[in-house]
A and B are shown apart, each in its own frame.
Chain A
Amino acid sequence: MLNTRLNLNKDVFLKDVKRKSPRDGFGEAIANLASRNKSIITLSADLSESVKLQEFKKNYPNRFIQTGIAEQNMCSIASGLAMEEKIPFVVSHAVFLTYRGWDQIRLSICMNNLNVKICGTHEGFSNGPDGASAEPLEDIALMRVLPNMTVINPIDYEQTKTAITEISKIEGPVYLRFSKAEIPSITTKDTPFKIGKADILTEGKDVTLISCGAITYEALVAAKNLKAKYKIDAELISSPTIKPLDEMRILESAKKTGFVVTIEEHQIIGGLGGAVSELLSEKLPTPLLRIGVEDAFGESGSYEDLKNKFGLSAHRIEDKVVKFLKEKK
């Protein structure tokens, strides 16, 4: 069922599939990138180990800047570095970085269209046990609304690695959001990745599922089960770039299937679901279901339990899609 053109991981559905954290992918990729590009600087607000900057720090101590627990200062410092043609990566938990640093990201970075890469870790429920305060469920919305900003939420370990290299090649601010969770890799190092491009992971004709981030694995399992259990042929589109959205691919698929479901580890307001509904309502009004957190805060729990409770586990996604199609058809 997997799209053969994308060189996806054939073992993704196996029970003993290897699980890896996108956060580790970030740590490896940034250290690697720094060896090739001397302009790369990283900044951390007292969370360098948590965001996997140990190797970078060890190999490039003069290009690592410790700001202490001061995200506002960190974001504006990064803007100053970018004014002098450095490529600063500010890295912290998404929930601290994009919330505490929003005004600085807006004025110091985005208004100047500066080449700062904002890397937010521990997406969605992946820091689950820490509870609601530690769960970024609004960050895509906060970053997406800013002019000049590109917003990317890679779906797994390999794609996070590739994305790091790709964002260093484009000029201007980027928000890269990735998970801490250990999840099966859907992509391989041979899977193509292009900023602004969405990929069809499974082709289908009955409903379009659009997903970003680590939850894409649950969406993929749901797509498989929809076919097996309900004979629903779902087309799953992975859309790691939320801004700019791959409008053409989404519209083509929506036209084909006539039903669209978005799936994200984020509020249903303002994130991927928001972006897709803005697109469809203007260009191709189509019945739409947004799956995500429904205007609520999270809570403590394991990653698996939280996904289940907030309706984002594969079987909860299946149930919602079946109900949606039944109601709309």
Chain B
Amino acid sequence: MPTKNKKATKINTEDLYKISNKLKQTVIDMLLESGTGHTAGSLGTAEIFSALYFEILNIDPKKPNKKDRDRFLLSNGHICPIWYATLSERGFFPKTELWKLRKINSKLQGHPKINTLPGIENSSGSLGQGLSQAIGIALAAKMDGLSYRVYCMTGDGELNEGQIWEAAMFAPNKKLNNITWIIDRNNIQSDGNTEDIMPLENLKDKLESFNWYVIEIDGHNIEEIISACKMAKSITQRPTVIIAHTIPGEGVDFMENKYQWHGRVPTKKEAVEAKEKLNSII
């Protein structure tokens, strides 16, 4: 790992799981407070966010715009509660901001907006645009001879959008080996299960045929997340996509794998119950 990440590398896997659990609880609190938002995807990606922000990314919360930082872009903007919770936990901005999610005059917009908060690298909300934005940044890095890496997370339902496949064709064609695309493969979208709405399988084959280097992982296994991200860095001739199989709502049994939790928030009673479940895991 780069020496600049020394502090982060001291965190062991056990700590990263603890951070993930804490982030999930923060998300529950945020969504209870805001009254609207998306729960399942936010909980389901907590391990990925903690691994990225506490281990993988070359970032400095004190210098959020430093030129050589790794860029992380969130394309499925609706899961931004977990992004906000993570950035705050990592020290990008005070936690007091978190309780203003989706409220008037808040920096925490319902979908991410660039320049509203340190660490927010892109605007999203209309699905399918993030990977293309990441490609633009990756091209600029190549032109300028800079070695930072561009990470982009998309949903899986988001793969219904045509623009994703335009971007998926483009990046390998330009040999953009500085991109790591992470797909949150949680099998749900607004109206139901992905394979019922618009089947994506065989997703690995599809992406391989587009000439991506494809890694499939358990998106809740922090060792697998870290090793996949490290592997991606060693691929020289093409971009890498990590298909992270996740359980939407992970850690709260009554939310897990239920597409109904894609776009709803817990009641007060459900929130208390959810946090009890999460506390019992630690």
Contact = CB atoms under 8 A, between A and B. Distances in A.
Given A86-B143, A107-B125, A70 B137 contact: no
A75 B124 CA distance: 14
A83 interface: yes
B110 to A, nearest CB: 13
Nearest to A103: B126
Interface string B169-193: 1100000000000000000000000
Interface string B121-142: 1111110110011111111110
B208 interface: no
Interface in B141-184: 141, 143-144, 162-163, 166-167, 169-170
Given A104-B129, A107-B123, A80 B134 contact: yes
Contacts of B163: 70, 72-73, 76, 104
Interface residues of A, number: 29
Kindly name the residue among A67, A81, A84 whose own CB sees the greatest number of chain B CB atoms within 10 A: A84
A77 B137 CA distance: 8
Contacts of A4: none
Nearest to B138: A80
B238 interface: no
B136 A79 contact: yes
Given A63-B143, A80-B134, A112-B115, A73 B167 contact: yes
Contacts of B277: none
Nearest to B137: A80
A83 B132 contact: no
Interface in B196-215: none
Interface in A40-81: 41, 62-63, 65, 67-68, 70, 72-73, 75-81
Q: Is chain A's binding surface mostly helix, strand, loop or mixed?
A: helix
Contact of B139 (A80, A85, A106): A80
A73 B124 CA distance: 14
A67 B133 contact: no
Contacts of B124: 107
B231 interface: no
Nearest to A81: B136
Nearest to B71: A83
Nearest to B128: A72
A108 interface: yes
Contact of A62 (B121, B143, B170): B143
Kindly name the residue among A62, A80, A88, A107 whose own CB sees the greatest number of chain B CB atoms within 10 A: A80
Given A77-B139, A81-B136, A108 B169 contact: no
Kindly name the residue among A75, A77, A104 whose own CB sees the greatest number of chain B CB atoms within 10 A: A77
A216 B129 CA distance: 38
B139 A81 contact: yes
Contact of B133 (A70, A79, A85, A88): A79
Contacts of A108: 123, 129, 132-133
Contacts of B275: none
A9 B126 CA distance: 47
B136 A84 contact: yes
What are the 5 closest A-B residue pairs judged by CB atoms, nearest first?
A: A80-B136, A76-B132, A84-B140, A73-B166, A70-B166
19 contacts: A41-B143, A68-B166, A72-B162, A72-B163, A72-B166, A77-B136, A79-B132, A79-B136, A80-B135, A80-B136, A80-B140, A81-B136, A82-B136, A83-B121, A83-B133, A84-B144, A107-B129, A112-B114, A112-B122
